[in-house]
Chain A
């Protein structure tokens, strides 16, 4: 029975297969249940089985490891497998199993060539670097990297130990601490891969299929060469490399590097992210205390990190992002093939750029030639900067630019499938635009409005076909900010929504779809926090102090700097509008402070002055003394009971969070996932906290409510917790995320 069982097992292999060609075992991986290969338990088990068979076969002199999926080698470990673990020890043992497999691969009696096409990330890269030789395609889809740090984890299958030896200490730190993707050319230069293979065009098979075949053929040749000792793994080291090796061999130099890296990480992460520090520890231990200690530290730290709230938050964001990159409204009736953008300002030009970038013909219309020229230049510069970074050729840039039609009239609007207006935030102007546009566009054309606060239904009031009107709230700068907030009114049709989401996805956006109301979701959360920031400023907390308190909490940009970036005029506008809509709950700082600043020309970065002075290229930002004078004239007395540093932080954050929860309670937000994604990707809510909802879960609603009650006593209803938050405080089993 034993042998029969064994036979049936191998017959049932679904993820890993192999064939022996000319004494070379070609191992092919393909997870039939997913678009990408991950190192799941199943994959690992089959891989071990296959490797053992190969090692047991005397006729096999070398091996090639290759994926059958066109865009993916191995995308990493299976996150769900890690998340399913209840204790650090469980995760540590997972890590140790991985380490053991890759150790066997590293010590393989026959050379193994990793043939890489598509993403080779995390555990995938750790697998590849345990092999004796690596060949990668130059495909745009081929990327190598260790993104674990972005999930609050570390490369837990030998990566922290092998990478420094392979690419050197500085490059290894850079890879593991930033998690950045490395393109094939760079990987070759770094010594991460040995050979590159060009992707092929059409032949007797599809380019994707033939490219993988070709990669396999080349890899098999190299495997034979390695087995026959015609190809050597060791590269001759150049002088620079030799000097670098010598310098890195000096313990005091290494010590200095660890110190520098550590302080840099502390400065950037404010100590809020444990993973980078643990990564440094693993690398340091491996190099200074040897392999055994290094691997042990790696597996233990991996276990510890997996249990941190930061890692859970980051993994939550990862899953959320995946969800928000899907169209949940079905396939739209027709594709948007021609888009028109009204207004060539920062936003309009940004929207045009991300649209043509994905091959959609776009009209950019403005009312003045100066405005149009500025917008056109912005788009050109955005694309041209990519050519400087070599992510685009000048030829591709020109091809993309040819899709842009800058114009002052409504020519060709009769062929537009969607119009996105990004004109001045004034209801009467928007009404005028709706009427003008509807006179020229075809009946199927969707009218989207890019507004940050005006209710969509108010704008739609001027429309003859409100079912075709939708809000598309982009964030500035459009080509950098990932979020798109789509706002539907109760009249917006499902197909209109589906179409807007499809366009957003094409533009590469992470999308949340929320209900209509003043400030929708994102602006509505931000407004109370900014109001609180203004109050803190009035109470004598300087802009720099305010910035350090907010960044110290995990916001990537401090509150005062954020106000300058958003624009003081925009902030004033929003504060006033939302103040009217929501009443005293949105009070706190005096709107007059902002208005006075605008009057004096302190509109933020764009005008050169806001809370800070801009323009001079000095590194140290200077506080704008004019703004300080205004703040003095509006001075408030800080109540000592709620003015400690931590109190100020929680005053800011609790108002943000409470408003977010209220949006969920009122149905503006469909679910906590979109709430978290919107807050983190649109507003810079601390990623280590995972978003307002995850923050309530991990911090405890009861504790947050307690703090708010204390603030409420001092300031009143701006800190009154909403009902849903109170419900969660009362019953600790209630959680926004499972």
Chain B
């Protein structure tokens, strides 16, 4: 057994448990729900799983990326609907694909600061319905219409509407700062690191194969069953589809045409899903009779150029968090990295393996090294399980805790990239069994 990462004067904070709804391809069974419905399901699932008294929760933090404007503080709407006490405050955070990581570390912060003892964190993403807006011109006309006092003024405003103003504005998975879609950036990143189409397809196939195996062997125990109103009970992720290399090779590039390498098959797909975790101070958890699953230890957030290094967050975050914890890559037993694109994962692995990159761009003397593949995302990843943007972080942390228990390791590492050129990593320590 390796040493514990507890630090004198720092509170031990534990993950009591974590759950998630099945992650479904958007436009499938969840299609008619609203985001807070999914979030509610995850929160209720957590209550059921932990048997937590509803009034024992001090605070709720929830992440979301594409906001439903009617429920902009989705944390509060979901909490009320899930039957939490109306005396429990809730707020929503957003940090692209690391939104629920942010929710969890916010919880950690609240507990560490002594302000709370038990916090629920989570995240939801609902891509089956997204806010599609009127054009700015049309919105302006409509808002002016509210203020127009006379019929004449109203008619003249209505008369100013042109056909072009009716064209809607669709949300895009694109950087606001560069207007580049994430898939396009991933393709360029893969090219920059010389990641071939073959390598990407192989990695994607690995993800699906491992996910299928984990699903079939019942390892994905964080998934709760969810009775969808008007539909059946859903209890499995529906995006896991191991294909063949031949089938995958047939696909045309999705973003950079015709010579790109990122395809629909080696990218994560649009997903609906929600997740939730219960985080407590160790004292409180033990006092309430819980057997925690893991300690949440050091974490870092990093950010870099959103144009050319959009998805390199794990490369920057990993050495930083390891140093903070006084660990090396070899000490880690379990790696869970967010798989946005196979090309992005492969590019990060190559960057982490490169002394030149570490010296030239990270100001480090040497590379941190790439994680050994046998410890890496061995129950599948975002490519196969799905990637509801703001729900993925909790899945990663819960999976690390479960894998540590299952595989008997002591330290786990979570790392993820996010839009905006940001990234996150966290060290997790198994709770002594």
Measuring CB to CB, which residues of chain A are less than 8 angstroms from any residue of chain B? Answer: 195, 197-198, 200-207, 210, 214, 218, 221-222, 393, 395
Let me know if B360 and A202 touch, CB within 8 A.
yes
- How would residues 172 to 198 of chain B score, 1 for a CB under 8 Å from any chain A CB and 0 otherwise? 000011110000100111011110000
A198-B188 contact given A204-B354, A221-B259, A393-B178, CB 8 Å threshold: yes
A202 to chain B: closest residue by CB: B361
Let me know if A201 and B189 touch, CB within 8 A.
yes
**Inter-chain contacts of A214 with B (CB < 8 A):** 191-192
Let me know if B356 and A200 touch, CB within 8 A.
no
| Chain B contact residue count (CB 8 A cutoff) | 27
Among A195, A202, A218, A393, which residue has its beta carbon within 8 angstroms of that of B192?
A202
Let me know if B259 and A202 touch, CB within 8 A.
no
Let me know if A201 and B259 touch, CB within 8 A.
no
Q: Does B309 lie at the interface of the complex (its beta carbon under 8 Å from any beta carbon of A)? A: yes
B256 to chain A: closest residue by CB: A198
15 residue pairs of the A-B complex, CB under 8 angstroms, read A197-B259, A198-B191, A200-B192, A200-B308, A201-B189, A202-B192, A202-B309, A202-B357, A203-B192, A203-B357, A204-B193, A205-B356, A210-B191, A393-B179, A395-B176
Let me know if A395 and B192 touch, CB within 8 A.
no
Q: Does B213 lie at the interface of the complex (its beta carbon under 8 Å from any beta carbon of A)? A: no
A205 to B361: give the CA distance in the assembly, Å: 11
- How would residues 251 to 271 of chain B score, 1 for a CB under 8 Å from any chain A CB and 0 otherwise? 000001011000000000000
**Inter-chain contacts of B305 with A (CB < 8 A):** 201
Among B178, B179, B193, B256, which residue has its beta carbon within 8 angstroms of that of A203?
B193
**Inter-chain contacts of B350 with A (CB < 8 A):** 203-204
**Inter-chain contacts of A222 with B (CB < 8 A):** 259
Q: Does B307 lie at the interface of the complex (its beta carbon under 8 Å from any beta carbon of A)? A: yes
Among B176, B179, B192, which residue has its beta carbon within 8 angstroms of that of A201?
B192
B305 to chain A: closest residue by CB: A201
A720 to B316: give the CA distance in the assembly, Å: 74
Let me know if A204 and B259 touch, CB within 8 A.
no
B310 to chain A: closest residue by CB: A201
Closest 10 A/B residue pairs (Cβ): A201-B308, A203-B192, A200-B192, A203-B193, A395-B177, A218-B259, A214-B191, A198-B188, A201-B192, A204-B354
Beyond A200-B192, A203-B189, A222-B259, 10 additional contacts (C-beta under 8 Å) are: A198-B187, A198-B188, A201-B189, A202-B361, A203-B192, A203-B194, A204-B350, A204-B351, A207-B192, A395-B176
CB distance from B355 to the nearest CB of A (A): 10
A205 to chain B: closest residue by CB: B356
A201-B356 contact given A195-B259, A214-B191, A393-B179, CB 8 Å threshold: no
A43 to B354: give the CA distance in the assembly, Å: 38
Let me know if A200 and B259 touch, CB within 8 A.
no
CB distance from A548 to the nearest CB of B (A): 44
Let me know if B188 and A201 touch, CB within 8 A.
yes
CB distance from A223 to the nearest CB of B (A): 12
A734 to B266: give the CA distance in the assembly, Å: 74
CB distance from B137 to the nearest CB of A (A): 17
A395-B188 contact given A201-B307, A201-B308, CB 8 Å threshold: no
**Inter-chain contacts of B356 with A (CB < 8 A):** 204-205
**Inter-chain contacts of B307 with A (CB < 8 A):** 201
CB distance from A468 to the nearest CB of B (A): 36
Let me know if B192 and A210 touch, CB within 8 A.
yes
B193 to chain A: closest residue by CB: A203
A204 to B351: give the CA distance in the assembly, Å: 7
A203, A207, A210, A222: which has the most chain B beta carbons within 10 Å?
A203
**Inter-chain contacts of B354 with A (CB < 8 A):** 204
**Inter-chain contacts of A203 with B (CB < 8 A):** 189, 191-194, 347, 350-351, 357
**Inter-chain contacts of B357 with A (CB < 8 A):** 202-204
Among A205, A207, A218, A395, which residue has its beta carbon within 8 angstroms of that of B308?
A207
A210 to B194: give the CA distance in the assembly, Å: 9
Q: Which of B352-378 contact A (CB under 8 A)?
A: 354, 356-357, 360-361
**Inter-chain contacts of A198 with B (CB < 8 A):** 184, 187-188, 191, 256
CB distance from A376 to the nearest CB of B (A): 23
A221 to B258: give the CA distance in the assembly, Å: 11
Let me know if A200 and B177 touch, CB within 8 A.
no
A395-B178 contact given A202-B357, A202-B360, CB 8 Å threshold: yes
A204 to B193: give the CA distance in the assembly, Å: 6
B360 to chain A: closest residue by CB: A202
CB distance from A467 to the nearest CB of B (A): 39
**Inter-chain contacts of B187 with A (CB < 8 A):** 198
Q: Which of B150-209 contact A (CB under 8 A)?
A: 176-179, 184, 187-189, 191-194
CB distance from B228 to the nearest CB of A (A): 41
CB distance from A555 to the nearest CB of B (A): 43
B179, B258, B347: which has the most chain A beta carbons within 10 Å?
B258
B260 to chain A: closest residue by CB: A198
CB distance from A552 to the nearest CB of B (A): 46
CB distance from A559 to the nearest CB of B (A): 46
**Inter-chain contacts of B258 with A (CB < 8 A):** 195
A541 to B308: give the CA distance in the assembly, Å: 62
**Inter-chain contacts of B192 with A (CB < 8 A):** 200-204, 207, 210, 214
Let me know if B178 and A200 touch, CB within 8 A.
no
**Inter-chain contacts of A204 with B (CB < 8 A):** 192-194, 350-351, 354, 356-357
- How would residues 275 to 317 of chain B score, 1 for a CB under 8 Å from any chain A CB and 0 otherwise? 0000000000000000000000000000001011100000000
Among B179, B188, B351, B360, which residue has its beta carbon within 8 angstroms of that of A200?
B188
A557 to B193: give the CA distance in the assembly, Å: 53
CB distance from A64 to the nearest CB of B (A): 14
CB distance from A208 to the nearest CB of B (A): 12
A198 to B189: give the CA distance in the assembly, Å: 11
**Inter-chain contacts of A201 with B (CB < 8 A):** 188-189, 192, 305, 307-309
**Inter-chain contacts of B184 with A (CB < 8 A):** 198
Let me know if A202 and B308 touch, CB within 8 A.
yes
**Inter-chain contacts of A205 with B (CB < 8 A):** 356
**Inter-chain contacts of B259 with A (CB < 8 A):** 195, 197, 218, 221-222
CB distance from A395 to the nearest CB of B (A): 4
A46 to B12: give the CA distance in the assembly, Å: 72
A205 to B354: give the CA distance in the assembly, Å: 10
B194, B351, B356, B361: which has the most chain A beta carbons within 10 Å?
B194
A163 to B4: give the CA distance in the assembly, Å: 72
A222 to B259: give the CA distance in the assembly, Å: 9
A195 to B256: give the CA distance in the assembly, Å: 11
A218 to B197: give the CA distance in the assembly, Å: 13
A205 to B194: give the CA distance in the assembly, Å: 10
A198 to chain B: closest residue by CB: B188
**Inter-chain contacts of B347 with A (CB < 8 A):** 203
B354 to chain A: closest residue by CB: A204
CB distance from A315 to the nearest CB of B (A): 39
B258 to chain A: closest residue by CB: A195
A207 to B189: give the CA distance in the assembly, Å: 11
**Inter-chain contacts of B179 with A (CB < 8 A):** 393
CB distance from A257 to the nearest CB of B (A): 32
A395 to B309: give the CA distance in the assembly, Å: 17
**Inter-chain contacts of B351 with A (CB < 8 A):** 203-204
**Inter-chain contacts of A395 with B (CB < 8 A):** 176-178
A200 to chain B: closest residue by CB: B192
CB distance from A672 to the nearest CB of B (A): 46
CB distance from B324 to the nearest CB of A (A): 24
A197, A204, A218, A395: which has the most chain B beta carbons within 10 Å?
A204
A206, A221, A395: which has the most chain B beta carbons within 10 Å?
A395
Q: Which of B97-122 contact A (CB under 8 A)?
A: none
B176 to chain A: closest residue by CB: A395
A214 to B187: give the CA distance in the assembly, Å: 12
A396 to chain B: closest residue by CB: B177
**Inter-chain contacts of A197 with B (CB < 8 A):** 259
**Inter-chain contacts of B178 with A (CB < 8 A):** 393, 395
**Inter-chain contacts of A206 with B (CB < 8 A):** 360
A197 to B260: give the CA distance in the assembly, Å: 9
B192, B308, B309, B356: which has the most chain A beta carbons within 10 Å?
B192
A207 to B356: give the CA distance in the assembly, Å: 13
